[in-house]
Chain A
Amino acid sequence: MLLRVLRTHLRPYAGNLSLVVVLQLVGTIASLYLPSLNADIIDNGVAKGDTAYIMSTGGWMLAVSLLQIVCTITAVYFGAKTAALFGRDVRAAVFHRVGEFSAREVNQFGAPTLISRSTNDVQQIQMLVVTTCTMLVAAPITMVGGVIMAVREDVGLSWLVAVAVPLLAVTIGFIASRMVPQFRKMQKNIDGVNRVLREQITGIRVVRAFVREPHEVERFGEANQHLTDTAIRAGRLMALVFPTVMLILNMSSIAVLWFGASRVENGTMEVGALTAFLSYLIQILFSVMMGVFVMIMVPRASVCADRISEVLDTDSSVRPPVTPITNFTGRGQLVFERASFKYPGAAEPVLRDISFVASPGQTTAIIGSTGAGKTTLLSLVPRLFDATEGRVLVDGIDVREIEPEALWERIGLVPQRPYLFSGTVASNLRYGNPDATDEELWHALEIAQGRDFVEAMPEGLDAPIAQGGTNVSGGQRQRLAIARALVRKPEIYLFDDSFSALDLSTDARLRAALRPVTREACVVVVAQRVSTIIDADQIVVIEDGAIVGKGTHQELLDTCPTYVEIVESQRSAEEAA
């Protein structure tokens, strides 16, 4: 998974990456060359008392150092750039893919995790790319180069390399393998603490009202302790790593000097070569260590890659049509033709065999108990979901054949939970139509019974709206959402329980104001209150996903027992007053 994500999105930057590798190669070789030059100074300069040689070789060393830094800095430049580009591309890919999702996919994942995967998970992988470019590339080069240089200095000691390197790799690998499960556990413990705290903060009123503070404190204490215990365990392992590495490094130095000494003694090795060998061994071991540590990043990045791939590999269940139809006449006739909807793998369908006709100029109401499938029904029209059986037709054409843009143009949706975007009242209203004039906005507000409170705000149309619309009350949010749909002037209005947060008189005024505006349009209203829909041209009664009654209020009173029940239950409350 990780490899696939990396390969796909790094491919466009293969040029950059090759450059990084080459630069790191040159830079590392330069680094590796320095000890050799130093050995040279010792063997041919110092030992022979040749000061001129010492100086000139010193000059070479300086030149090599300069080369090294130029290469490294350039490599860092391209490495950082590539990683950042990679991050940008993956983020864009995920965003685009989620944009294509239908409501089903978004609900399947859940918005929070999609958000997390878009930024945080991408960030993890991006870090891996950066670290790889700057370090992991250098590590194997250093190791191989170091081995070559070391062997070049003296073949006889190279067995030390063959012993030291695996010893180090295995030791670190062992400790690391014990650490990784601890870190995973730590993440879970952190989640645990977060969860408890989040509940406490969100439900603070409940906690206090029921005097549950001691209980909550205890709960928290437990989670806190678990986390601390795991963290301590992980930290103890971590504390072991560096001292161990240093010990192996130092023991290797000692071994080199001991075994090297006999080779110097019997003339097979020069002193300068010995010291060079020593520094190469250290460099090799150091690079092994670096490599192993970067490897530790891999499991975490791998998990992130899995999560991202999951999103990228999910196809939307609602696909745009192959040959989209854009031009068609009609003024907003909506027909449901034996439409059904069932979640894959579910036992029962949410909607069964829904058939009705909603004509322009008419108001069609949909009523039914909670969970009867009303919202799903409305969602079929703009193709937030697609019917699993049957069809939905707008102006005589199956919605699945219509060009999505053209379809949405004709629809104005006011969802059950009105969501506003951060910005201003005006920017939210213009969501329906970016080209609307201020006049049109005020007009829509007036109809939606929102003019008063917007006028009361000091900035009027430019009054700020916080994300989600949390800085206005529920009723105000609903009215703004309605105004937004009105600004659009669509052919089909879909009101999903949009008047519930309004008191009865505002509700009535609003519906009265809506009538002239929606005279030409097809209006579908989902409601709970009978009083809202009592004047509808057609009422559709839904129970358990199926239609149990269709007609006017009076007709239904005579023919539909479910409807009668609903009316009675609401009326008796009124009559009791």
Chain B
Amino acid sequence: MSEQKPSPNGQKPSPNGTEPGAAKTVKATERPTTGRAFGPPGGIPGDKSLDFLPSAKRLLKRLRPHRMQVSGVVLLAVFSVGLSVLGPKILGRATDIIFAGAIGKRLPSGMTKEQVIEQTRASGNGRLADLLQGIDLIPGVGIDFDALRNVLLLVLALYAGAFFLSWAQGYILNGVVQRTILDLRSEVEEKLNKLPLSYFDGAPRGELLSRVTNDIDNISTSLQQTLSQLLTSLLTVVGVVTMMFVISPLLALIALVTIPISMVLTAAIAKRSQVRFVAQWRHTGALNGQIEEAFTGHELVKVFGRQKEIEASFAEKNEELYKAAFGAQFISGLIMPLMMFIGNVNYVVIAVVGGLRVASGTMSLGDVQAFIQYSRQFTQPLTQVASMANLLQSGVASAERVFEVLDAEEQVPDDATPEKVTDARGRVEFEHVSFSYDPDKPLITDLSLVAEPGQTVAIVGPTGAARPHWST
């Protein structure tokens, strides 16, 4: 009986190389904080996005230009998952052959199976007789190595096929995601050239930069990790459940009970860990803000003798961050053990019930073994989907922020057919020009001025007279 087999094609480690179940926690806590333009990629914290479905849909729509390849990926996934899902069942046949041979060898040769069973029953060993009933054996004959070889070769071919298909799928999907992100970046950059200057002045530079760099990177990572995993996980669950029903509806029902339990548990944990992650990022932001100020104003802190004070308030925020980080890590770290526990209980129940059914001859050992492998095979994807939930939410949250930039109002476009200035000599005229950021606070009112070529016009005025705005 083999268990703990990771689901086929499903688990892909995050670029950091950690186990996928923890991928969410690695990426989520890797992101730097609000408003920092430099530093490794990451994004504004995994806030529960405000409008998950519409933004998610919009994000997925961006894959449309590559829909041929996406369909290809889906097709490849279906086949590779199909192959991997068949594997255990056929491997189960191998175990059956071995088991049959092992038992059969012990029985006296020369009799038929029915005769042996009758004999066994007659001698009072009803249980054993039941067991023998269900096994495809020939008394006195050991393992059929020819049959075994054929089965194993078939399985080898299946798994080799699954390997190539799943690699191809990953290969293509990777290209699709990266190109989609390339397009997104270009689009945003183009948009920047069309935005009015007021947009740039309205927000801290680091904030805008963060959207364009960190958030897009976050989308890239999220897409990369969740798309293929989600696809294969879901397909695996469907395939595995089907196989389980094929083998034994009873056992399948037992195994299926774990699905709603897992979902409830995961949702409960995800909700709690989400809250703590948001808190962690908030505190990281606050601490980072403090550090940024203290370091930038370092000489002032020193000369005004405020070092001790600053260290005290730093320690306070640092402590809060520690608590938040601890909480977040702990709660989110509970998912894996809990899922494993459910899987284990499942394993136990199936081993026992399956064992009983084999003993009574109603099921083959190989089938039970395959069943156990299957039940392992579907708790894995469930765990993965659970841990991907956070990553997905984070990616969509970043997508929302990027879409905000793309949706921003553009400045009045230059005239479609601008007048060509054929004889540009440099005469600038201001005709009753007014300007203000805020309608209630005019900066420049009714300005008329002519600057002829060859002239130097000086603009002077007291502090606060809006001189820089002229050049703009």
The answer to the question of A13 belonging to the interface, with a C-beta cut-off of 8 Å to chain B, is no
The answer to the question of A314 belonging to the interface, with a C-beta cut-off of 8 Å to chain B, is no
The answer to the question of A157 belonging to the interface, with a C-beta cut-off of 8 Å to chain B, is no
- Residues of chain A contacted by B38 (CB below 8 angstroms): 112, 116, 194, 198
Near B by CB (< 8 A), chain A positions 28-72 give: 31, 34-35, 38-39, 41-42, 45-51, 54-55, 57-58, 61-62, 65-66, 68-69, 72
- Residues of chain B contacted by A84 (CB below 8 angstroms): 322-323, 325-326, 329
The answer to the question of A326 belonging to the interface, with a C-beta cut-off of 8 Å to chain B, is no
The answer to the question of B344 belonging to the interface, with a C-beta cut-off of 8 Å to chain A, is yes
The CA of A474 and the CA of B197, in the complex, are separated in Å by: 21
Given A204-B197, A296-B17 in contact, is the A58-B288 Cβ separation under 8 Å? no
Which of B5, B212, B337, B359 touches A73 (beta carbons < 8 Å)?
Answer: B337
Given A120-B39, A194-B213, A382-B302 in contact, is the A46-B18 Cβ separation under 8 Å? no
Q: Which residue of B lies closest to A224 (CB)?
A: B185
The answer to the question of B448 belonging to the interface, with a C-beta cut-off of 8 Å to chain A, is no
Q: Is the CB of A120 within 8 A of B302?
A: no
Shortest CB–CB separation between residue A411 and chain B, in angstroms? 6
Given A115-B288, A241-B13, A274-B98 in contact, is the A251-B209 Cβ separation under 8 Å? no
Q: Is the CB of B352 within 8 A of A58?
A: yes
The answer to the question of B44 belonging to the interface, with a C-beta cut-off of 8 Å to chain A, is no
Q: Is the CB of B163 within 8 A of A243?
A: yes
Near A by CB (< 8 A), chain B positions 53-105 give: 84, 87, 91, 94-95, 97-99, 101-103, 105
Interface size class of B (residues with CB under 8 A): 35 or more
- Residues of chain B contacted by A83 (CB below 8 angstroms): 325-326, 329
The answer to the question of B217 belonging to the interface, with a C-beta cut-off of 8 Å to chain A, is yes
Q: Is the CB of A235 within 8 A of B224?
A: yes
The answer to the question of A134 belonging to the interface, with a C-beta cut-off of 8 Å to chain B, is yes
Shortest CB–CB separation between residue B188 and chain A, in angstroms? 9
Q: Is the CB of B17 within 8 A of A116?
A: no
The answer to the question of B444 belonging to the interface, with a C-beta cut-off of 8 Å to chain A, is no
Q: Mark B347-360, 1 if CB is under 8 A from A, else 0.
A: 11101100110110
- Residues of chain A contacted by B334 (CB below 8 angstroms): 73, 76
Near A by CB (< 8 A), chain B positions 1-57 give: 1-6, 8-9, 11-13, 15-19, 22, 25-26, 29-30, 32-33, 36-41
Q: Is the CB of A183 within 8 A of B127?
A: no
Q: Is the CB of B189 within 8 A of A134?
A: no
Q: Is the CB of B9 within 8 A of A243?
A: yes
Q: Is the CB of A265 within 8 A of B143?
A: yes
Chain B interface SS verdict (over half): helix
The CA of A276 and the CA of B351, in the complex, are separated in Å by: 13
Q: Is the CB of A221 within 8 A of B186?
A: yes
- Residues of chain A contacted by B98 (CB below 8 angstroms): 257, 260-261, 264, 271, 274
The answer to the question of A87 belonging to the interface, with a C-beta cut-off of 8 Å to chain B, is yes
The CA of A35 and the CA of B155, in the complex, are separated in Å by: 23
- Residues of chain A contacted by B91 (CB below 8 angstroms): 253-254, 257
The CA of A41 and the CA of B212, in the complex, are separated in Å by: 59
The answer to the question of B109 belonging to the interface, with a C-beta cut-off of 8 Å to chain A, is no
The CA of A369 and the CA of B29, in the complex, are separated in Å by: 49
Q: Is the CB of B220 within 8 A of A231?
A: yes
Q: Which of A88-96, A162-170, A327-335 contacts B (4 or more CB under 8 A)?
A: A88-96
Which of B94, B300, B305, B315 touches A415 (beta carbons < 8 Å)?
Answer: B300
Q: Is the CB of B18 within 8 A of A99?
A: no
Q: Is the CB of A34 within 8 A of B347?
A: yes
Near B by CB (< 8 A), chain A positions 245-259 give: 246-247, 249-251, 253-254, 257-258
The answer to the question of B299 belonging to the interface, with a C-beta cut-off of 8 Å to chain A, is yes
Q: Is the CB of B287 within 8 A of A228?
A: no
Q: Is the CB of A46 within 8 A of B365?
A: yes
Q: Which residue of B lies closest to A212 (CB)?
A: B193
Shortest CB–CB separation between residue B236 and chain A, in angstroms? 12
Given A92-B318, A271-B365, A282-B4 in contact, is the A135-B19 Cβ separation under 8 Å? yes
Q: Is the CB of A503 within 8 A of B19?
A: no
Shortest CB–CB separation between residue A142 and chain B, in angstroms? 10
- Residues of chain B contacted by A116 (CB below 8 angstroms): 32, 36, 38-39
Near A by CB (< 8 A), chain B positions 329-344 give: 329-330, 333-334, 336-338, 340-341, 344
Q: Is the CB of A193 within 8 A of B345?
A: no
Q: Is the CB of A49 within 8 A of B130?
A: yes
Q: Which residue of A lies closest to B189 (CB)?
A: A220
Q: Which of A287-295, A343-351, A522-530 contacts B (4 or more CB under 8 A)?
A: A287-295
Q: Which of A122-130, A352-360, A512-520 contacts B (4 or more CB under 8 A)?
A: A122-130
Q: Is the CB of A47 within 8 A of B326?
A: no
The CA of A249 and the CA of B149, in the complex, are separated in Å by: 18
Q: Which residue of B lies closest to A219 (CB)?
A: B189
Near A by CB (< 8 A), chain B positions 107-144 give: 125-128, 130-131, 142-143
Given A244-B163, A265-B101 in contact, is the A183-B15 Cβ separation under 8 Å? yes
Given A127-B29, A235-B224, A253-B91 in contact, is the A106-B295 Cβ separation under 8 Å? yes
The CA of A176 and the CA of B13, in the complex, are separated in Å by: 12
The CA of A98 and the CA of B99, in the complex, are separated in Å by: 69
Q: Is the CB of A46 within 8 A of B17?
A: no
Q: Is the CB of B95 within 8 A of A80?
A: no
Pairs across A and B, CB under 8 Å, 30 listed: A34-B347, A35-B1, A42-B1, A50-B127, A51-B127, A58-B352, A68-B341, A69-B337, A72-B337, A73-B334, A73-B337, A81-B326, A84-B322, A87-B321, A106-B298, A106-B299, A111-B296, A123-B284, A135-B19, A187-B40, A204-B192, A235-B178, A236-B171, A241-B13, A242-B170, A250-B87, A293-B13, A296-B16, A300-B16, A422-B293
B residues contacting A by CB (< 8 A) are 1-6, 8-9, 11-13, 15-19, 22, 25-26, 29-30, 32-33, 36-41, 84, 87, 91, 94-95, 97-99, 101-103, 105, 125-128, 130-131, 142-143, 145, 148-149, 152, 155-156, 159-160, 162-164, 166-167, 169-171, 173-175, 177-179, 181-182, 185-186, 189-190, 192-193, 197, 200, 205, 208-209, 212-213, 217, 220, 224, 284, 287-289, 291-307, 309-311, 314-315, 318-319, 321-323, 325-326, 329-330, 333-334, 336-338, 340-341, 344-345, 347-349, 351-352, 355-356, 358-359, 365, 369, 372, 462-464, 471-472
